[in-house]
């Protein structure tokens, strides 16, 4: 007789599971610091999945994240660096003006933070640095640039941004 031919009667199953199939566990819940950070992440609206630890902070008061044309341009920039929108977390500073570097970094631990139209002062960074310069701070590298719409319309700005991104991504 094979196991596929074995007939289980209701009495046999009941005898086998004397204590029941579902066990109720009573666990006391304590909110930890990490859970609070995760709760903050759910309240903070962002685009992307942050797969490659890249945070992109923009300042666009007239859009939830970015206008469609700017999002398309950002996608082109990412594609040139062999990245996608899934690799980043995109946050609109105009919709989250209370966020700082110290509040964002625990939620989105990032190796690269791109600031488009957002100043180091706005994020309360302890350093100031010029646009297009790769700036290391703690575990992250920052890149400051004008707003995406300004970069898109200015060939010198596009070239400077591309040179910095090429250096960082080694493309």
Domains and CATH numbers, the chain: 46-169 (3.40.470.10)
Residue 171: pLDDT band (50, 70, 90) is confident
Taking residues 113-141, report their average pLDDT.
96
Predicted pLDDT at 11: 67
* Nearest alpha-carbon partner for 145 in 113, 107, 117, 104: 117
Give residue 18's pLDDT. Answer: 59
pLDDT value of residue 44: 87
Q: Which residues pair with 100 in a beta bridge?
A: none
Residue 10 has pLDDT above 90, yes or no: no
Over range 122-126, report the average pLDDT: 96
Work out the number of other CB atoms within 10 angstroms of the CB of residue 49: 12
> What pTM was estimated for this model as a whole?
0.75
């Amino acid at each position: 007789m094979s196991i596929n031919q074995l007939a289980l009667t209701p009495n046999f199953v009941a005898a086998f599971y004397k204590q029941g199939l579902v066990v109720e566990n009573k666990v006391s819940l304590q909110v930890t610091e990490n859970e609070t950070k995760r709760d903050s992440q759910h309240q903070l609206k962002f685009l992307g999945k942050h797969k490659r630890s890249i945070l992109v902070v923009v300042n666009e008061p007239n859009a939830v994240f970015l206008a469609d044309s700017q999002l398309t341009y950002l996608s082109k920039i990412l594609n040139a660096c062999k990245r996608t929108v899934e690799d980043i977390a995109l946050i609109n500073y105009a919709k989250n003006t209370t966020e700082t570097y110290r509040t964002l970094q625990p939620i989105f631990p990032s190796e690269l933070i791109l600031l488009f139209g957002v100043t180091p002062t706005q994020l309360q960074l302890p350093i100031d640095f010029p646009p297009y310069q790769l700036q290391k701070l703690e575990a992250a590298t920052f890149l400051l640039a004008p707003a995406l719409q300004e970069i898109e319309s200015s060939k010198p700005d596009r070239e400077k941004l591309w040179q910095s991104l090429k250096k960082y991504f080694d493309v």
